[in-house]
Each structure stands twice: as C-alpha cells, then as structure tokens.
Amino acid sequence: MNSEKAANPLDFSGKVVVVTGGARGVGRGISESFLAAGAEVVICGRSEPAAADLPAHGGRRAVFVQADVRDAEQAGAVIEQTSGRFGRLDVLVNNAGGSPAVPAAEASARFISQVIALNLVAPFYCAQAANRVMQEQSEGGSIVNIGSVSGLRPSPGTAAYGAAKAGLINLTRSLAVEWAPKVRVNCVVAGMVATEAADDHYGGAVGLAAVAATVPLGRLGTPDDVAGVCLFLASPLAGYLSGAEVVVHGGGEWPAFLTAVESGAGDRSEPRPGG
C-alpha cells in the first residue's frame, strides 16, 4: 500500500473549513469535529460569542467572523477573510438555518422571505463565494449543505422552511453539475437532532423521549452524528460523491398508519421502534 493510501483520509491537517452558524447546536458539533480532525476552522454568525465560548479542541479554537449571510456582501466577506488569512479554502459547510413554528395561513410576507433567505438564499451566496476560491486551487474543494427531512416530506407549521430546504437539495444537485470537476457539492439531510432548540421545541425531556420513540434507531440524532457525515463528504473517501443527498435520520419515522392499526386493533405483530 503506498503512503497516500495509507494516510488517514479523515485527517484535515493543513485544510481550512468554514462553517456558517458554527457556534451553536449542530454547527458547533461540526466545527469541533473538524478542529479535532486537524483543520483550521472559521465560523460566522450575527452575534459574536465570547472567546471562551468559541468551538475548540486541544487548545485550538475556531476563528469567528461576524456576518449575516443573508446579505451577499457579508457572505462573500466571510470567504474573502478566510482565504486572505489562511491562503486557501478547502471546505464550506452551509449550516446556518432554522425557523420558528408559524402556521402557514398566519405567516407574514416578511417572515416568509426571511426564512427562505436564511435557509436557501444564504447558502447560495456562500457557495458562490467559496466556488470562486476553490476553482482557482489545484485541489478544488468541497461544499456541504445541511438540509432537513422537512425538505423531503410535509412540514406543517414550518412550510417556508420545508420549501427552502427542498430548494437546497435541488440547488445542491445543480451546483454539483455546474462546478464539477473542481468542486464537489453534497447535502446532509438531517432528521431530528437533540439540541437546546429541540429541547425547547419538544417540551423538555418528556417530549424528547416521546419523539425519540418514533425513530427506528430509538433515539434522536446528535450534532456528532451530523458532523461525522460532513467529515466523510469532505474527505477523499467521498471523492466520487457529488450532487448527493445523504439522509441522516435514524431510519426515518414510525409510519402513522401502523400506529393507527395498532391502536385500533391491538395488533403488535410489527415491533415498535426501540423495543
């Protein structure tokens, strides 16, 4: 086996990674995983965290750039400052996103536009800026978009968010074709992940446990679960993977029709998730 093949494909030493929204939740898990793998990591967000709260590993901390990536100039500035400081950009993880729950009939025009801007337009802006740098590098680069199962199924209560995430999947496919062969573009389609936001959304520990029971693997995902897939997609192990959606959802959700059959006829012939 030659030295190139013997090298650890998940060693990102000497690589530079940008993670949007990388200070909290899933983004923090992604940032810390890339730091642990040896990368230099730049995160961005609208509010600057205290230095002690920056993602860190082994005494190394992420670099913060303040930006609202819904603005094209600010999104571009994150990439420009990163490449200017480190001389390169190897990986962009478009993680910033989310939406509060609002019934579709009550959602204001401003609310809809802001949700779509954060979850679809901002990743487009960041990807454009990253592509300009990566196309000039001999090694090219990798862009990983963080999607959601809300983009694959109905998203009641967060209709604009679901529509934006569906658009992000299509954007991933289009950019993968346009920017090949230098830049690979993939999407992590995340299911329900246990974060502080999820704790609030599902009503604490009891609600989280009830939701986890609907997942075939018997638990909610973690930021590390999502981060591991990001590392894989950005690595040489995924060198022939582009334009793909990797669904990270623990097997999906327990089908509602089976629950209805169970409650109506007492049929336990199908095992429930988690035992």
| Residues taking part in catalysis | 161
Cβ contact 186:145 at 8 Å: yes
Q: How far is CA 97 from the centre of its chain?
A: 9
Is the previous residue joined to 181 through a cis bond, with omega within 30 degrees of 0? Answer: yes
Q: Hey, which bits of the chain come out as E strands?
A: 16-20, 40-45, 56-57, 60-61, 63-66, 91-94, 141-148, 183-190, 245-248
Q: What are all long-range contacts of 201-210, with beta carbons under 8 Å and residues at least 24 apart?
A: 201/101
- The answer to whether the Cα torsion of 201, 206, 209, 210 is positive or negative is negative
Three-class SS of 200-263: HHCCHHHHHHHHHCCCCCCCCECHHHHHHHHHHHHCHHHCCCCCCEEEECCCCCCCHHHHHHHH
d(CA 142, CA 159): 29
| Residues 92 and 126: beta-carbon distance below 8 Å | yes
Tokens of residue 84, six digits:
């200017």
